[in-house]
Amino acid sequence: MNPTQPLTAISLFSGGGIGDIALRASDVQVLVANELRPDRASVFQQNFPGVVMHVGDIEAQKESIVSRTKALLQGAELDVLFATPPCQGMSKNGRGKLLARAAQGDRLLLDPRNQLILHALGVANACQPRLVVFENVPEMRNTMIFNEDGVLTDIMEVISDSLGSRYQGSWQVVEFADYGVPQRRKRLITTFTRDPVLKERLNTTHTLLPPATHSRDEEDGLLPWITVEEALSDVPSLDARTKALATGDIPFHRVPTLDKAKYFWVSHTPAGRSAFDNQCANPACGFQENASHGAQRNRKGINQSKKTTPVYCQACGELLPRPWVREEDGSYRIMSGYTSAYKRMRADVPASALTRNLSYACSDHKVHPTENRVLSLYEAFRIHTVDEYAFDWQRVDNQRLADKTIREILGESIPPKGLERIFTHLAMLLRL
């Protein structure tokens, strides 16, 4: 190929196009994309106006995706197929456990979303890209699906069998903080290639992915992880006690208010700790040895949060700043929920993975490290590294883009800075 020409790609399960930012930054031209949800597809189209977007279920759109891709290629090879199937159904159950259940005649109810990868493989087989890249949660390695013959099979085996002997592949879990992202986010990156140069690379190094640039302990001369404090050091302060907005010069820098009780819990929560473990806030007492929260297994072996965690100070009897529920008789009990809820981030490490619930204090590790609030969307853009790229949070149809949709797009995507590191490396190999 001409090394001066951009590589070509198609993007499946594209969401709002966050992953495709990385392709564009790596000089890879996306020709055709597919996304189920019209709201996400509209954001994609706003940012990638030259890409043919097929909106709808991939099974129904598959033939159109293939035909349009071939028409645009005009006989040339497709370089990359990039697919990010839904991860919500990926199972932590082991292969052996599921197969044993099936052998005993258990009628397995597997998440139908896991089967969507078969349609992505159908597109791959029809277009024969030089490189196939799947991105998903680490649990994908342990996920079982029904193959095209209806046999319960390991999903990685399904991928290998479907692509056939022409392709050779590998997969590994990547920590995106290791690529200079101020966020801990582990993802499984799966690569299969039919390109001779890349196959030789796989045979010698057993991976197509680039080496880490950062590390927790600065090992082997690598740069230190980028912390939340470094990412947000110059962002104006906000407080969730009142519905206050920062300067209008910073779009999306706003946070929801917290009611009086939640503000009480959050304001007494130290960095790296959960409000469930807060100690006495009574200045006349200040007892710091109240029993901590936690989880324990019930008689059925199910791990549940403790219901006996004290909500009153064991020294003075004052109500503790812990998530509580008020009973009909006016008394209080500890709130049921995950022990990581109402947990304050640490400023000296990368953020925990941003989720679709990033704007809720009750979500996992989502309270600002030093201020009494959650992250603003603007701060989430920084933590996710979207702010480092030209990206317009608008719909192409000019309809209002809800904050909920923005959170979902972020929570379902991976940081483009880390993905750019991967695709720049893969593009370099494809150009050899």
What string of pLDDT tens digits covers the 432 residues of the chain? 566 689 999 999 999 999 999 999 999 999 999 999 999 999 999 999 999 999 999 999 999 999 999 999 999 999 999 999 886 666 554 445 555 555 555 545 567 788 899 999 999 999 999 999 999 999 888 888 888 998 888 999 999 999 999 999 999 999 999 999 999 999 999 999 999 999 999 999 999 999 999 999 877 889 999 999 999 999 999 999 976 556 568 899 999 999 999 999 999 999 999 999 999 999 999 999 999 987 666 555 555 677 889 999 999 999 999 999 999 999 999 998 777 789 999 999 999 999 999 999 998 888 999 999 999 999 999 999 999 999 999 999 999 999 999 999 999 999 999 999 999 999 999 999
User: What is the spatial distance between Cα 20 and Cα 320, in angstroms, rounded to a whole number?
Assistant: 47
- CA torsion angle for 80, 70, 64, 33 (degrees, to 10)? 30
What integer pLDDT is reported at residue 113 of this predicted model? 81
Residues 6 or more apart from 67 whose CB is under 8 A from it?
Answer: none
Domain identity same for 271 and 157: no
Asked if residue 258 is part of any domain, the answer here is: yes
Asked if residue 1 is part of any domain, the answer here is: no
Asked if residue 407 is part of any domain, the answer here is: no
Q: How far is CA 18 from the centre of its chain?
A: 11
Domain identity same for 218 and 104: yes
- The 3-class secondary structure across the chain, one letter per residue, is CCCCCCEEEEEECCCCCHHHHHHHHCCEEEEEEEECCHHHHHHHHHHCCCCEEEECCHHHHHHHHHHHHHHHHCCCCCCEEEECCCCCCCCCCCHHHHHHHHHCCCCCCCCHHHHHHHHHHHHHHHHCCCEEEEEECHHHHHCEEECCCCCEEEHHHHHHHHHCCCCEEEEEEEEHHHHCCCECCEEEEEEEECCHHHHHHHHHHCCCCCCCCEECCCHHHCEECCCHHHHHCCCCCCCCCCCCECCCCCCCCECCCCCHHHHHHHHCCCCCCEHHHCCCCCCCCCCCCCCCCCEEECCCCCEEECCCCCCECCCCCCECCCCEEECCCCCEEECCCCCCECEECCCCCCECCCCCCCCCCCCECCECCCCCCECCHHHHHHHCCHHHCCCCCCCCCCCCCCHHHHHHHHHCCCCHHHHHHHHHHHHHHHCC
Domain identity same for 82 and 134: yes
Domain boundary among 330, 359, 375: 375
Domain identity same for 120 and 198: yes
Q: How far is CA 123 from the centre of its chain?
A: 24
Domain identity same for 157 and 282: no
Domain identity same for 125 and 198: yes
Domain identity same for 321 and 299: yes
What integer pLDDT is reported at residue 94 of this predicted model? 47
What integer pLDDT is reported at residue 300 of this predicted model? 52
pTM, rounded to two decimals: 0.91
Number of domains in the chain: 2
Domain that holds residue 370: 236-375
Domain identity same for 29 and 51: yes
What integer pLDDT is reported at residue 107 of this predicted model? 46
Domain boundary among 375, 391, 420: 375
Domain boundary among 354, 375, 396: 375
Asked if residue 313 is part of any domain, the answer here is: yes
What integer pLDDT is reported at residue 90 of this predicted model? 66
Asked if residue 403 is part of any domain, the answer here is: no
User: What is the spatial distance between Cα 228 and Cα 19, in angstroms, rounded to a whole number?
Assistant: 22
Asked if residue 385 is part of any domain, the answer here is: no
Asked if residue 382 is part of any domain, the answer here is: no
Domain identity same for 161 and 197: yes
Domain identity same for 174 and 28: yes
CATH number at residue 78: 3.40.50.150
Domain identity same for 181 and 277: no
Asked if residue 227 is part of any domain, the answer here is: no
